[in-house]
Amino acid sequence: MRAWPTVEVPTIPATPGSYQVPERVSLVTTNDRALTAVGPERGAAGLYVCGITPYDATHLGHAFTYLSFDLLNRAWRDAGLEVRYAQNVTDVDDPLLERAMDTGVDWRELADGQIDLFRSDMTGLRVLPPDWYVPATSVTGEVADLVNELVSRGFVYQVDDPEHPDWYFRSAQAPGFGAESHLDREAMLAEFVEHGGDPDRPGKEDALDCLVWRLERPGEPAWESPLGRGRPGWHIECTATALNRLGAAFAVQGGGRDLAFPHHEMCAAEAVVATGGEPFARAYAHVGMVGLDGEKMSKSLGNLELVSRLVVGGADPMAIRLALLDHHYRADWEWTAGQLGRAQRRLDAWRAAVRADRGTSAVPVIADLRRALRTDLDAPTALAVVDEWSSAVLAGDGQDEEAPGQVAAAVDGLLGIELG
């Protein structure tokens, strides 16, 4: 499946060594719970970010997640790494099928329409596209093969249910289970219930065992497999997609914080068993929750502010991007309409500054941008750096004729904000 059009990333002038910019990008990772260098010192960095379930439009919580990992993508590239980026689309799952039934729209038509809208949102926000954009419906064979591998290793069984003997993964028996999320069993069970798990299903060996292949039900889509006609479970879909494109031990698996458990923990467990001990990802990074009206913004609650609705209302996509980047990626925060106005004023000031004939030197500005973004993707500090430079330029300071163009290139390449 095609993703969306790529964005040209400009070349940014090198920073002199005297500015002491970190050579590598570091994140406060969920698994290490500390600032940790992510990605190799040289070569290719693998990135897997869990994609949408396309049953409703892209809200600002989604956009915040994908912009956050777009910053990582850009920071890695600026540090000289090749980035190999994969993202899935869960285009067959219970919430999608339920929405299709409620609206009377064919589930495939519903998914296709929402995927197209997501592509449009990502294009407008200038998010670098993944190298692989993979719908779940295209990897059912890969998932079945992975489940069979887990069966051969003794970690998958059929639930004791004569009518629907679905296939389950022995999650809690996997080596290192819990090391990604650091939750105890009680907390795991609570998160499992909240995020689509079925701990009380009769016939399971353990409440935390997760579904890997759901056998066909009347009226539901299904695919042929040695496991019986059915469809993938949620977690195993991402495990197969990532392993078959990035291999084991890729650099970062990312997503919203609500994916840390069970989704990312289950993916990690399935992969470590399937590969005979190799980690799924070396680092796990999670983005904070965006709220509206005192609640987490979510499809299930219906309290959504949509990217597309803001754009139709006249918002500049670059102002939307700036409003989101004004929050640290790990922070929880609340969206208010006033943030968009502030972002537009900031964008106007930056654009006016880069149109100037001259300005103060870009060298320390670019160094500070790199330092902020390579240190836990500190976008708010990066924005403040550009604010300070643009204020000085608009006040008439500086005589460097190359500075406005160099700062514009750095803001484009590192922050994804087009100022031209």
157 assigned to some structural domain = yes
Residue with tokens 């987490």: 296
pLDDT-derived band at 300 (thresholds 50, 70, 90) equals low
Least confident of 91-95, 166-170, 297-301: 297-301
Look at residues 340, 410, 368, 419 and name the one whose alpha carbon lies nearest to residue 78: 410
pLDDT at 302: 67
Domains in the chain, number: 2
pLDDT at 301: 65
pLDDT at 265: 98
Residue pair 78/414 in contact (Cβ under 8 Å)? The answer is: yes
65 assigned to some structural domain = yes
Q: Are residues 398 and 272 in the same domain?
A: no
- What share of the chain has pLDDT > 90, as a percent? 94
Per-residue pLDDT, averaged over 100-116, amounts to: 93
Q: Are residues 279 and 360 in the same domain?
A: no
394 assigned to some structural domain = yes
Q: Are residues 147 and 270 in the same domain?
A: yes
388 assigned to some structural domain = yes
Residues in contact with 294: Cβ distance below 8 Å, sequence separation at least 6, in sequence order = 334
Q: Are residues 351 and 255 in the same domain?
A: no
Distance CA 120, CA 114 (A): 10
Task: Among 265, 292, 319, identify where a domain stops.
Answer: 292
Q: Are residues 287 and 342 in the same domain?
A: no
At 217-263, the pLDDT tens digits run 999 999 999 999 999 999 999 999 999 999 999 999 999 999 999 99
Does residue 72 have a pLDDT over 80? yes
Q: Are residues 90 and 213 in the same domain?
A: yes
Class of residue 219 by CB neighbours under 10 A (exposed 0-12, middle 13-18, buried 19+): exposed
Q: Are residues 285 and 347 in the same domain?
A: no
Distance CA 213, CA 156 (A): 10
Q: 64 — phi, psi (to 5°)?
A: -60, -40
Per-residue pLDDT, averaged over 332-359, amounts to: 97
- Residue 341 belongs to domain spanning: 336-415
Does residue 304 have a pLDDT over 90? no
Look at residues 7, 100, 84, 92 and name the one whose alpha carbon lies nearest to residue 52: 92
pLDDT-derived band at 1 (thresholds 50, 70, 90) equals confident
Looking at residue 18, its amino acid is: S
* Angle CA 188–194–195, to nearest 5: 85
Q: Are residues 111 and 181 in the same domain?
A: yes
pLDDT at 56: 75
**H helix or E strand, kind and range, residue 379:** helix 379-394
Query: At what angle are helices 265-274 and 234-246 packed, to 10 degrees?
Result: 50
Domain with residue 341: its CATH number is: 1.20.120.640
pLDDT at 327: 98
Per-residue pLDDT, averaged over 283-308, amounts to: 84
Does residue 295 have a pLDDT over 90? no
At 16-37, the pLDDT tens digits run 999 999 999 999 999 999 999 9
Task: Among 269, 292, 315, identify where a domain stops.
Answer: 292
Task: Among 272, 292, 312, identify where a domain stops.
Answer: 292
Distance CA 347, CA 416 (A): 12
Q: Are residues 341 and 272 in the same domain?
A: no
322 assigned to some structural domain = no
pLDDT at 189: 98
29 assigned to some structural domain = no
Does the global pTM surpass 0.85? Answer: yes
Q: Are residues 101 and 207 in the same domain?
A: yes
Does residue 415 have a pLDDT over 80? yes
pLDDT at 57: 72
305 assigned to some structural domain = no
At 43-67, the pLDDT tens digits run 999 999 999 999 877 899 999 999 9
Distance CA 149, CA 155 (A): 9
Domain with residue 238: its CATH number is: 3.40.50.620
pLDDT at 299: 63
Q: Are residues 162 and 64 in the same domain?
A: yes
307 assigned to some structural domain = no
Average pLDDT taken over every residue of the chain: 96
